[in-house]
A and B are shown apart, each in its own frame.
Chain A
């Protein structure tokens, strides 16, 4: 493993970043805040995938690239692989991480609702603040994946959900 820093450095910086954009710059515009956070993630993902694929040949197909993200890339970032990968073989992939480090340390008010299992992207009217805070944090890793894949030649759109 190369140089390391304590995990709390990354946690602190990410928390402050989300807080600055959500409560500061775009206080009442969660959409804009989300886009900024995702953009930051995009850049990180792009640069990281550049570094981690420098010595490899190009990926033969989309599935190979996604597998790289799930295994090598995720391990470099989170010291574990993606737990589950599903696909409909028509361009949609679902990556599942059962113990995502960055939100495993977040506590949620037990009186709030559990994450929804609604399929579409629209936010249900009564979404709790806690769920919203969690999803804001998830825009960053979402951006990382999108950035990494775009550097591998795969433009994509995606979203992250806490279930």
Chain B
């Protein structure tokens, strides 16, 4: 039997169990609101969302690899494309695009025009400095770390702050080769 190639984001999304996005949007919103009440400082909430995203990302990568059937990405450019076209699609049902590559090919922007996390969301003035979608940056960072890439993910543009799109800047810091847990001479 011929090996099965990688599946498109649409195909995977059509085959996974899906739920009402409103439930997701409102749940996420309620969590952010509760975190703001409990942690009080916007910076603390940003950090917490990033940490939660990281914890999700390190597990979500397994589901991603299992369902998408992608083979090892040749380079970081391919990695970014896969995140934007397959990753976002199969989980959030939306596609992102990749732009702004630097000369080395280690830094790019992932641009999202449509984002279910922020449906019906408006930030009040009291939340200046909040990166509402910071869970996403953590998810990407966590997932990539599990495939041996240490990255820095930051927000370049945020629609909730008045920009026209969401733009995540993903910078590859280090490609860590896979380490085996046992050293030969120990």
Which of B54-62, B124-132, B145-153, B169-177 binds A?
Answer: B54-62
Q: Which residues of chain A come closer than 8 Å to B77, judged between CB atoms?
A: none
Q: How large is the interface on A (under 10, 10 to 19, 20 to 34, 35 or more residues)?
A: 20 to 34
Which of A42-50, A57-65, A118-126 binds B?
Answer: A42-50
Jot down 29 A-B pairs with beta carbons below 8 A, ordered by A.
A2-B20, A3-B22, A3-B93, A3-B116, A4-B19, A5-B21, A5-B91, A6-B16, A6-B91, A6-B92, A9-B91, A10-B23, A12-B59, A13-B24, A13-B31, A13-B56, A16-B52, A16-B55, A16-B56, A36-B34, A39-B34, A40-B31, A43-B26, A43-B30, A47-B26, A48-B23, A48-B26, A76-B20, A77-B19
Q: Which residues of chain A come closer than 8 Å to B17, judged between CB atoms?
A: 6-8
B42-73 interface bits toward A, Cβ cutoff 8 Å, 1 = contact, 0 = none: 00000010001001100110010000000000
How far does the alpha carbon of A14 sit from the alpha carbon of B55 in the complex, in Å? Answer: 12
How far does the alpha carbon of A13 sit from the alpha carbon of B23 in the complex, in Å? Answer: 11
Give the residue name and chain of the B residue nearest to A19 (CB): B55
Q: Which residues of chain B come closer than 8 Å to A51, judged between CB atoms?
A: 22
B31 CB to nearest chain A CB (Å): 5
A163 at the interface (CB under 8 A from B): no
Give the residue name and chain of the A residue nearest to B28 (CB): A13
How far does the alpha carbon of A19 sit from the alpha carbon of B116 in the complex, in Å? Answer: 23
Q: Which residues of chain B come closer than 8 Å to A16, judged between CB atoms?
A: 52, 55-56
**Do B22 and A48 have beta carbons less than 8 Å apart?**
yes
Task: State the majority secondary structure of interface residues on A.
Answer: helix
Give the residue name and chain of the A residue nearest to B57 (CB): A12
Known interface pairs A2-B21, A16-B55; A9-B26 also in contact (CB < 8 Å): no
B18 at the interface (CB under 8 A from A): yes
Instruction: Write the residues of chain A forming the contact surface with B, with a CB cutoff of 8 angstroms.
Output: 1-10, 12-14, 16-17, 19-20, 25, 36, 39-41, 43-44, 47-48, 51, 76-77, 79
Known interface pairs A6-B91, A12-B56, A43-B30; A36-B38 also in contact (CB < 8 Å): yes
Q: Which residues of chain B come closer than 8 Å to A20, judged between CB atoms?
A: 48, 52
Q: Which residues of chain B come closer than 8 Å to A7, judged between CB atoms?
A: 16-19
**Do B60 and A8 have beta carbons less than 8 Å apart?**
yes
How far does the alpha carbon of A7 sit from the alpha carbon of B26 in the complex, in Å? Answer: 14
**Do A10 and B24 have beta carbons less than 8 Å apart?**
yes
A69 CB to nearest chain B CB (Å): 15
